[in-house]
Chain A
Amino acid sequence: MYEFITFLGDAFVIILIFATLSLSVNLQYGSSGIFNFGVVAFFMIGAYTSSFLALTGIPFLLALAVAVILSGLAGLLISLPALNLRGDFLSLATFMFAEIIRLLVLNVPSLGGAVGIARVPSAFPSIKVYSNLVAANIALSLVVFLVFCVVYSAMMSSPYGRVLKCIRENEVLAESLGKNTFRYKAQVFVIGSIMAGTAGAVYSQYLGFAGTELFTYSVTFTVYIMSIIGGSTTRLGALLGSFIYLSIQDLLRIAKNWITIPVDPNNLAFILFGFATMLILYYRPEGIIREKLRQVRVTNGNLGA
């Protein structure tokens, strides 16, 4: 029973970390139309930055702060040339950037190389009991996710968010109505990168490890699938997508022990996700949980909402 609860707890930590990643995609792609196909790069930058710093004895919160800054800076640097490109080329450029950075780290031993960084200190060095550590990490990853939910909501429910949606659907109109679309997109890109970087920092301290095999482009694909399925325009959609993806994956892995199915459950999970993605894109492109049109209360005259 104890093992089951810690198993669940462990699953929740990962779900929340990936929910934050999905939220990053939701902000950039779902709400603003920026198809950043290199999200994993910032995930990795956050993870490696905080890991290196933590190994030198720096407390986690400080390492996290630096990771946040560095991910944001990286996002800014990439956004400046990349956002000038046409949408699909932006996706290729960011994809390439993520791969390049991964290969760089893979091939430079002082950055961890193929071996990666081991024995990354936990954010809770004083907690020795495993179940308590899992609980603490649930709290940490939940706080991170919720903080970014607040950020997301503050952005999207304000006039700023209205401009983002306009940019998403009609960039020329946004420009013609006085919005500096480049600046908006760069800001969103940076904040999205910060979200991903923070998730990375939490991830690597939880695993106690950071290695390039954790940060391949498959992660970007996975996060996009989560976002598309759960709902690419909402916070709950980000959480739901992460939850559905990871829990089905876990369930099918466990199911192997209990029932025999002709198909290897590991494979089945991904085959299902692949088909689910295609079906959702066709039948319900915004995902399961969609954004609603903002309503203004109106009687005979008008009541502001």
Chain B
Amino acid sequence: MAIADLLPQLLFNSVVSGSVFALATVGFSLTYSILKFPNIAQAAFITFGAYFAYTAASVWGLGFGLGILGAFLATGILGALSYVVIFRPLGRKVSGFVAPTVASVGYGLALTFIMQQIWGRDLLLFSTIFDAFSVGPMRTNWLWNTTIVFTVIVVVSMHYLLSRTKFGAAMRGTSSNPDLVRASGIHVDRVIISVWFLGSALAGAAGVFLAGQNGVTPVLGSNMLVTVMAVAIFAGIGSFYGVIAAAYILSFAQNLSIPVLLSIGQPSFYSIAVAYGVVIATLLFFPRGISGTGPKVESLIAKMRKVV
């Protein structure tokens, strides 16, 4: 098959997987930006969303649509509670990023095995079957279409929230200038809780879309963790738009490099190397990411600011 034949399908696939990347990473990037640490438990949130949707849709028989909604809400609540019960008190007691990072490792571990305890280790498939159908030159199914539509709705809503509402402005301001946000009369803590809710809810949704066709296991989210980090780094920590752009760019780069690699006789798994190569390049040459909101390279200068 010529590349041209594959191209539309590859492009479409890229959009679908890019959407999932984006949903999974937004929360990670935003909480990182506000609380200054990478939340490793994000992986567990993704898995939780998938399991919750499975239970709602296939065990309780509420159907896939309600499954998505339920996962969104339930994971959001889980995320908000995680902040209130674990990360907020820890942040008040200990300064620095190490404690919350390692705590998130432990928390993710506990969550994952609690889920394994509840749902077992075996693959659980949704009872909904997503039949493939053709749209023009491409094959798709309702799961993928829903993924894309959902993501579009999220992006549009977030754009409106961030640029047109006071709350959205507070969200943007909280990571760089919490005092200013406080001064404008908004409870910074409420903003943080909302960010955790939203970010985790989106991660839960990502989990549902990930598992919809191939099922859910306890390691669903863990397999995504590296991708989430890669997208977040490439995007530049803290920028919503950066995450969206980065997610799709990486997804396209990964998918489109497959035919390129095949045509020059290299194995297709190197496509992952493309994504990782991008991340290494980011860390080495422009750690602020494509949005330019990440941290500066000069660690000593940044620390010095606190002292001077």
Contacts and interface: CB of A to CB of B under 8 A. Distances in A.
- A interacts with B: yes
Interface of A: 29, 35, 81-82, 84-89, 91-93, 95-97, 99-100, 103-104, 107, 171-172, 175, 181, 217-218, 221, 224-225, 228, 263-264, 266-268, 270-271, 273-278, 281-282, 285
Contacts of B149: none
A68 to B, nearest CB: 26
A51 to B, nearest CB: 22
B82 to A, nearest CB: 11
Interface stretch (B112-120, B156-164, B202-210, B244-252): B112-120
Given A96-B230, A96-B283, A270-B113, A88 B99 contact: no
B267 to A, nearest CB: 7
A35 B98 contact: yes
A281 B94 contact: yes
Contacts of B40: 221
A86 B297 CA distance: 7
B109 interface: yes
A93 B101 CA distance: 14
Contact of B304 (A81, A172, A218, A270): A172
A96 B113 contact: no
Nearest to B276: A100
B297 A84 contact: yes
B269 interface: yes
A274 B107 contact: yes
Contacts of B114: 267, 271
Given A95-B229, A225-B106, A282 B297 contact: no
B153 interface: no
Contacts of A175: 300
A85 B117 contact: no
Q: What 10 pairs between A and B have smallest CB-CB spacing? A: A274-B110, A277-B106, A274-B109, A270-B113, A274-B106, A267-B117, A267-B113, A88-B97, A86-B299, A107-B269
B38 A88 contact: yes
B109 A89 contact: no
Nearest to B85: A278
Interface of B: 36-38, 40, 86, 89-90, 93-94, 96-99, 101-103, 105-114, 116-117, 222, 225-226, 229-230, 233, 267, 269-270, 272-273, 276, 279-280, 283-284, 287, 294-300, 302-304, 307
13 contacts: A35-B98, A86-B295, A86-B297, A86-B299, A88-B97, A88-B295, A92-B233, A95-B226, A228-B102, A264-B116, A274-B108, A278-B86, A278-B107
A276 B303 contact: no
B111 A274 contact: yes
A215 to B, nearest CB: 14
Contacts of A224: 102, 105
A282 B90 CA distance: 6
A225 B105 contact: yes
A89 B287 contact: yes
B108 A96 contact: no
Contacts of A87: 96-98, 299
Contacts of B229: 92, 95-96
Nearest to A229: B106
Among B94, B222, B283, chain A packs the most CB atoms within 10 A around the CB of B283
Contacts of B294: 89
Contacts of A285: 94, 99
Contacts of B295: 85-86, 88-89
B276 A89 contact: no
A142 to B, nearest CB: 28
B302 A86 contact: yes
B12 to A, nearest CB: 25
Given A86-B299, A267-B114, A282 B89 contact: yes
B93 A282 contact: yes
A96 B300 contact: no
B113 A271 contact: yes
Nearest to A171: B303
Contacts of A268: 113, 117
B108 A103 contact: no
Nearest to A175: B300
Contacts of A217: 225-226
A278 B294 CA distance: 27
A271 B96 CA distance: 25
Contacts of A88: 36-38, 97, 101, 295
B274 to A, nearest CB: 12
B269 A221 contact: no
A276 B233 CA distance: 30
Contacts of B283: 81-82, 85, 89, 92-93, 96
Nearest to B109: A274
Given A85-B299, A96-B229, A276-B106, 20 more contacts: A85-B295, A96-B276, A97-B280, A99-B276, A103-B273, A107-B269, A172-B304, A175-B300, A217-B225, A221-B40, A225-B105, A225-B106, A264-B116, A271-B117, A274-B113, A275-B106, A278-B103, A281-B90, A281-B102, A282-B103
Contact of B117 (A263, A274, A277, A281): A263
Contacts of B113: 266-268, 270-271, 274
